[in-house]
């Protein structure tokens, strides 16, 4: 049945709820805002949405710190609005998937509040990972684990015990050895499935399970985030016990029709990565190798081949992502300005030519660059990071410019958006790009339309052609579509075929630099 499932070649669109559309005037995006823009998403041509967390939260990590996973935060709306959103999205032929955050809760979650009150050794503390400290007076953390957000992964509470948090201090890790924790997740799954959601994106799906004795991490393990983890060096992630949790999740999903789950899996080893998408576990796992690849034909080809190979053995579709709410937007990664935008156009055609599942990040279809925000505007709790996100992740989370000539560009009816929007974005609004056949938005619309309707995209296998240095060309074996990319400094001969679409002007028989083309 999985062979024909709706998600196997779907194009998902990640809605960063805070930043997509504000139906009110508080400058923060909300569920009603999304509902009011469904027409746009249908016009764009995506099959499904992924909504980032909109649950009750004190927003220490903008909603990835969940205080109640079965309610909507008043900032984003209420359950009735959510139900209307699902109903309307389905009426517009789009599926809706939602985020799940099972590795940790907010420190404001009633469980954690009860754990603080109850004290060492209590039933309440056993839902989290509380431990005594080390050193003669217990004043040192239980082990050497670091937080992905910087600093030690342990915080000490008033009675002297320490609790584990792999992310912010306000995100205590749950104890997945406690059956109450799994029971509660099953309840959350059913709660949203019963409301009609089509699936889930599982946050930190390689987390959750921890080895009981919590052994030290190797000092050679990378501390930054966005880095693939190696369980040999780093026992914080990818513990073997995690698969039992994914089998539990899958069982619940299988009680319903046509529902799916994709895991956020940052795992180095291919064989270990593939375990997450075995028959009885998750349907899909994010592969971030395209995010890591520079704009270079060999690097991109390597990422594609690696991604395809890593899931081939288990028969799960590959997944493709260029950007998300945690990384620098790819227009900027590729050099920024008009060069970055040109390369982003080329990479959009490469990505959309690939077999499997696509995840677009809101705003990439407009060619939004990362924004250099002034210090006063920064909000992300991330403070001590690896190079690519050292100033935090706010720069890729600036709200979507919809229309008009000045900030907030129709994003909110209020005066200010939660992060300031650049004045230069007047040329990048949805309104201005819809009219312009040469815009990034028009390119995405055409590409998505062709991907959906052309027979060229059939089959899962690629055949690679010989190509000049700095270039590649592959053919979809089943359907015959050819995609060629030129990352070299000069023009190269076009492969034979009729041009269906190109990311920039193609003159005569040549493919110019920083350009990709589809041929049939
Ligand atoms: O990110 C999980 C994760 O592993 C992070 O290291 C991620 O690589 C990092 O944020 C990249 O910069 C998820 C969410 O996507 C992120 O937004 C949350 O902050 C995090 O979980 C905690 O819930």
Identified catalytic residue from 22, 73, 170, 203 = 203
* pLDDT at residue 240, as a whole number: 97
* pLDDT at residue 151, as a whole number: 87
* pLDDT at residue 390, as a whole number: 57
- Testing ligand 1's pocket by substitution, the residue of 64, 65, 166, 394 carrying the most ligand atoms inside 8 A of its CB is 64
Ligand 1 centroid vs 204 CA: distance in angstroms? 7
Indicate if 461 belongs to the active site.
no
Indicate if 203 belongs to the active site.
yes
Ligand 1 centroid vs 516 CA: distance in angstroms? 31
Identified catalytic residue from 78, 177, 255, 280 = 255
Where exactly does CATH 2.60.40.1180 map onto the chain? 461-519
* pLDDT at residue 27, as a whole number: 98
CA angle 455, 457, 462 (to 5 degrees): 135
* pLDDT at residue 384, as a whole number: 45
CA-proximal residue: ligand 1, atom 4 (nearest): 204
Ligand 1 centroid vs 465 CA: distance in angstroms? 37
Q: Is 469 exposed, middle or buried (0-12, 13-18, 19+ CB in 10 A)?
A: exposed
Where exactly does CATH 3.20.20.80 map onto the chain? 2-105+178-448
Polymer length in residues for the chain: 520
pLDDT digits (tens, 9 = 90+) for 262-301: 999 999 899 999 999 999 999 999 999 999 999 999 999 9
- Alpha-carbon torsion (255, 260, 263, 269), positive or negative: positive
Residue 61 CA: which ligand 1 atom is closest?
19
CA-proximal residue: ligand 1, atom 17 (nearest): 326
Residue 168 CA: which ligand 1 atom is closest?
22
The whole-model pTM stands at: 0.97
State whether CATH 2.60.40.1180 applies to domain 461-519.
Answer: yes
Give the fold, CATH level 3, of 110-164. Answer: Oligo-1,6-glucosidase; domain 2 (3.90.400)
- Spans in the chain with pLDDT lower than 70: 1-2, 222-227, 383-390
Ligand 1 centroid vs 160 CA: distance in angstroms? 29
* pLDDT at residue 219, as a whole number: 77
Where exactly does CATH 3.90.400.10 map onto the chain? 110-164
User: What CATH homologous superfamily does 2-105+178-448 map to?
Assistant: Glycosidases (3.20.20.80)
* pLDDT at residue 221, as a whole number: 79
* pLDDT at residue 222, as a whole number: 61
CA separation for the pair 348, 330 (Å, rounded): 10
- Testing ligand 1's pocket by substitution, the residue of 52, 204, 383 carrying the most ligand atoms inside 8 A of its CB is 204
Predicted complex ipTM exceeds 0.90 = yes
Taking CB atoms and a 6 Å cutoff, what residues make up the pocket around ligand 1? 61, 64, 101, 148, 167, 203-204, 225-226, 264, 266, 325-326, 389, 393
pLDDT digits (tens, 9 = 90+) for 313-368: 899 999 999 999 999 999 999 999 999 999 999 999 999 999 999 999 999 999 99
Q: Which segments of 57-148 are extended strands (E)?
A: 68-72, 95-100, 130-131
Q: Collect contacts of 451-454 with beta carbons under 8 A, ≥24 apart.
A: 451/11, 451/352, 451/353, 452/45, 454/479, 454/481, 454/500, 454/520
* pLDDT at residue 232, as a whole number: 86
């Amino acid at each position: 049945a999985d062979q024909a499932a709706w998600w196997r070649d779907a194009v998902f669109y990640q809605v960063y709820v805070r930043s997509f559309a504000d139906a009110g005037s508080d400058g923060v995006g909300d569920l009603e805002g999304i509902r009011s823009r469904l027409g746009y998403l249908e016009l764009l041509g995506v099959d499904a949405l992924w909504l980032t967390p909109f649950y009750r939260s004190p927003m220490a990590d903008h909603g990835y710190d969940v205080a109640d996973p079965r309610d909507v935060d008043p900032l984003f709306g209420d359950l009735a609005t959510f139900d209307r959103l699902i109903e309307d999205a389905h009426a517009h032929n789009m599926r809706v998937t939602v985020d799940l955050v099972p590795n940790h809760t907010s420190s404001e979650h009633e469980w954690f509040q009860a754990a603080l009150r109850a004290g060492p050794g209590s039933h309440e503390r056993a839902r989290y990972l509380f431990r005594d400290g080390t050193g003669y007076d217990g004043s040192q953390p239980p082990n050497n684990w670091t937080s992905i957000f910087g600093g030690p992964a342990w915080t000490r509470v008033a009675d002297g015990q320490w609790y584990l948090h792999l992310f912010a201090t306000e995100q205590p890790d749950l104890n997945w050895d406690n059956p109450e924790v799994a029971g509660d997740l099953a309840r959350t799954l059913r709660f949203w499935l019963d409301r009609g959601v089509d699936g889930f994106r599982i946050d930190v799906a390689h987390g959750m399970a921890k080895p009981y004795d919590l052994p030290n991490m190797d000092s050679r393990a990378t501390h930054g985030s966005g880095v693939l983890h190696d369980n040999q060096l780093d026992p914080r992630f990818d513990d073997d016990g995690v698969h039992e949790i994914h089998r539990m999740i899958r069982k619940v999903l299988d009680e319903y029709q046509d529902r799916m789950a994709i895991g956020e899996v940052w795992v180095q080893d291919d064989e270990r990565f593939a375990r997450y998408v075995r028959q009885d576990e998750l349907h899909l796992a994010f592969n971030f190798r395209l995010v890591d690849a520079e704009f270079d034909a060999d690097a991109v080809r390597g990422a594609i081949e690696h991604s395809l190979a890593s899931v081939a053995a288990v028969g799960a579709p590959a997944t493709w992502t260029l950007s998300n709410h945690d990384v620098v937007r790819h227009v900027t990664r590729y050099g920024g300005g008009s060069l970055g935008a040109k390369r982003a156009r080329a990479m959009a055609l490469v990505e959309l030519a690939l077999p499997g599942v696509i995840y677009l990040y809101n705003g990439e279809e407009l060619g939004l660059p990362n924004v250099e925000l002034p210090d006063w505007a920064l909000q992300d709790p991330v403070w001590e990071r690896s190079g690519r996100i050292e100033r935090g992740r706010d720069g890729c989370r600036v709200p979507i410019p919809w229309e008009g000539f000045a900030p907030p560009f129709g994003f909110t009816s209020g005066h200010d958006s939660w992060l300031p929007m650049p004045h230069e974005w007047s040329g990048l609004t949805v309104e201005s790009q819809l009219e312009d056949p040469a815009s990034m938005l028009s390119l995405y619309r055409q590409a998505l339309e062709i991907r959906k309707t052309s027979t060229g995209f059939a089959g899962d296998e690629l055949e690679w052609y010989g190509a000049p240095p700095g270039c590649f060309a592959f053919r979809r074996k089943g359907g015959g579509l050819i995609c060629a990319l030129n990352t070299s400094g000069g023009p190269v001969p076009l492969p034979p075929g009729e041009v269906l679409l190109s990311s920039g002007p193609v003159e005569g028989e040549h493919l110019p630099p920083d350009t990709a083309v589809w041929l049939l």
